[in-house]
Amino acid sequence: MISPMIHTFKSINVEYEELSRVLGHGFISTFLRISLPLARRGILISFLIGFMKAFSDFGATVMVAGIIIGKTATLPSMIYLQINSGDIEQGLALILLLLLVSLFTNSVMRVWGYR
């Protein structure tokens, strides 16, 4: 999440920020009025990438925190638990939910990325 955000800020044309200074705005005002709005798309995409990574995490969660329902269980670990315990219906429902959230997040990222 941090890496795309750094890339976003680095990709802003520094001349906009320089011009803002010449037009009378100080460093903080320039950051709030120019840098941040110009980076907003990249910031949102970075958040979505971070969200998707956390939302779909399996290995690290199981290794470090285990699968405690309502506390440490993530959606993929719940799918694993349900399928393993033979509750295929609930497992498939959770897979569908994961798929819908992933599709929605990816669509938002694509729309914002191409704008």
Partner 1 sequence: MEIGLLIKDLMAQIGSFKLFIEELSVYRGEIVSVIGPNGSGKTTLLKTIAGLLKPLQGEIHINGELVYKSHRNKVLINIPPEKRVVGYLPQNYLLFPHMTVWDNIAYPLRAHGSDKRIIEERVQELIDLLNLRGLEKKRVNELSGGQAQRVALARALASKPKILLLDEPFSNIDQESRESIRRWLKEIIENIRITTLIVSHDPSDRILSNRVIYMRNGIIINIE
Which among 48, 63, 58 is positioned nearest to 101, based on CA atoms?
Answer: 48
Residue 27 C-beta: closest distance to partner 1, Å:
9
- Site for partner 1 (CB under 8 A): which residue of 6, 7, 10, 16? 16
Spatial neighbors of 114 by CB under 8 A, at least 6 apart, are: none
Indicate whether 23 belongs to the interface with partner 1 (CB under 8 A). Answer: yes
Distances (CA, A) of 60 to 3, 63, 66, 68, 105: 20, 5, 9, 14, 22
Percent helix, strand, coil in the chain (nearest 5)? Answer: 80, 0, 20
Nearer to partner 1, 33 or 53 (CB): 33
Tell me which residue has tokens 């990438």.
Answer: 49
Residue 19 C-beta: closest distance to partner 1, Å:
5
Nearer to partner 1, 10 or 33 (CB): 33
Nearer to partner 1, 33 or 110 (CB): 33
| Residues near partner 1 (CB under 8 A) | 13, 15-16, 18-26, 29, 33-34, 37-38, 40
